[in-house]
A = this chain, B = another copy of it.
Amino acid sequence: MELVAELRAVVPVDRVLDDPDVIEGYLQDHAEWAEYARAAAVVRPRSTAEVQAVVRVAAERRVPIVPRGAGTGLSGGANAVEGCIVLSFESMAEVLEINEAERYAVVRPGIVNDDLRAICAERGLWYPPDPASAPWSTIGGNVATNAGGLCCVKYGVTRDYVLALEVVNGRGDVVRLGRRTAKGVAGYDLCGLMVGSEGTLGIITEITVRLRPTRPPERTIAGYFDSVVAAGEAVSAVSASGVIPSALELVDRHCLEAVDAWKNMGLSTEANVVLLGRVDTPGHAGEAEARTVLRCFEEAGATWAAVSSDEQEAEALFDARRLAYPALERLGPVLTEDVCVPKALVPEMLARIEKTAAAHDTLIANIAHAGDGNLHPLLITPIGDEDAKLRAQAAFEDIIADAIELGGTVTGEHGIGLLKRGGLRREVSQGVLEMHRAIKTALDPLGILNPGKVFS
């Protein structure tokens, strides 16, 4: 029997797509520079049993499976490999339970991050991880990549909120990992191991996330700087002050100009670099923290800085940060970096990025979760300019080398996918890569789960 026919024999026929024009939309994520290939079929399962049925067919035939959320990834992790089955979770998006007393939610992987956050907010609960893709990206994809976001600097990343998972492993078994209690050490942390494994160790079919009570209102501190290095020094000063901000974001001139060109916000006439800090400690203590952050900005040489008394004005500034990426995409293909360095070395890393941009004659814009030391240099090339693309790729490698030299990592929150496989090899030793391979073989002995991602 043909693969598609067999899939239609084990799951309802409407779940299986094989029209090439329809499939085309499922073949890649937002990493425009990463390769992708043709899929044999796309399956949109509606239950764990359907996922299991598909995995069993794939295991029998040794056909690769590429799981996929909303395709907002930036490393090629969801890109199709030749002849694969793409498993798209758009039809598995239910909230199964919100437990207010224990503060957790049980959801299917296809639910969109912002949708979960909105449902939680109605109950006085908060799901913190807030990647910039939150309006579109799914919790399943967030878990597969261990997504970060703006509030990580105070509240941690996706892994810190994943209590339990239901997973279909490479043998087609359904297993439940983790727990629903506040603590638990029964056996290995297989739940944590799945988080960030980019679909290479198991296919996530249900997720239990820890929630927090709704947080107090935030105060916003904005600062304008002449240079990214001065802004980087303000970031180091905040880190050294002992204040843990609830966000600390950097947006550079190139981003401000792109946002202005698109949305006419007038930001780039005011500043070369904008730093946006937030604190959410309640009461007088929060006021004191905001003043400390303000002082850090001023002492680092801000040309203007203020604690915002106007929530709308503050939101507009954060909108500019969120719009930076799509605004830059309008200028041409964007190659996104995601290095993370020690916080004190943010100014040094930003200075090196500027040098790299000049050395390779490449436009590099910067947005950054600066408070975490997580920088997103965005390499932009004019459409169709192949020389510029080669120069950008050389710059990309230099940035990775600099991050590793400064004690950093090649990926803070986007994942390895396809684009950072070389970076992973540079970051970790041969022994660590061998441990990766051994674990991959242990949990996916047939090698059918998202093969070729993270490492080849």
Contact = CB atoms under 8 A, between A and B. Distances in A.
A323 interface: no
A182 B435 contact: no
Interface string A223-259: 0000000000000100110101000000000000000
A439 B439 CA distance: 6
A445 to B, nearest CB: 8
A342 B180 contact: yes
A240 B101 contact: yes
Interface in A402-441: 407-416, 420, 423-424, 427-429, 431-432, 434-436, 438-439, 441
A12 interface: no
Interface string A2-22: 000000000000000000000
Given A192-B193, A193-B188, A193-B189, A432 B183 contact: no
A346 to B, nearest CB: 11
Interface residues of A, number: 90
- The prevalent SS among residues of A at the interface is loop
B182 A343 contact: yes
A213 B455 CA distance: 37
Given A282-B285, A442-B439, A186 B101 contact: no
Contacts of A413: 183, 185
A353 to B, nearest CB: 16
Interface stretch (A144-152, A309-317, A354-362, A389-397): A144-152
A206 interface: no
A169 interface: yes
Interface in A68-111: 100-103
Interface in A142-187: 145-146, 148, 152-153, 156-157, 159-160, 169, 173-177, 179-187
A373 B181 contact: yes
A334 interface: no
A196 interface: yes
A78 to B, nearest CB: 15
Interface in A367-410: 369, 371-374, 407-410
A283 interface: yes
Contacts of A414: 185
A244 B284 CA distance: 19
Contacts of A183: 148, 152, 157, 340, 369, 372-374, 409, 412-413
A341 interface: yes
Nearest to A175: B431
A217 interface: no
A189 B416 contact: no
A124 interface: yes
Nearest to A404: B186
A307 interface: no
Interface in A18-68: none
A299 B187 CA distance: 38
Nearest to A180: B407
Max chain B C-beta neighbours (<10 A), residue from A236, A432, A454: A432
A272 interface: no
Contact of A160 (B124, B160, B196, B372): B160
Nearest to A369: B183
Given A193-B192, A409-B181, A187 B443 contact: no
Contact of A196 (B177, B188, B195, B407): B188
A261 interface: no
Given A186-B410, A189-B189, 4 more contacts: A183-B372, A183-B409, A188-B196, A435-B443
9 contacts: A148-B183, A148-B185, A173-B431, A174-B431, A183-B340, A185-B413, A282-B283, A435-B442, A439-B443
Interface of A: 100-103, 124, 145-146, 148, 152-153, 156-157, 159-160, 169, 173-177, 179-190, 192-193, 195-197, 201, 212-214, 216, 236, 239-240, 242, 244, 281-285, 340-344, 369, 371-374, 407-416, 420, 423-424, 427-429, 431-432, 434-436, 438-439, 441-443, 454-455
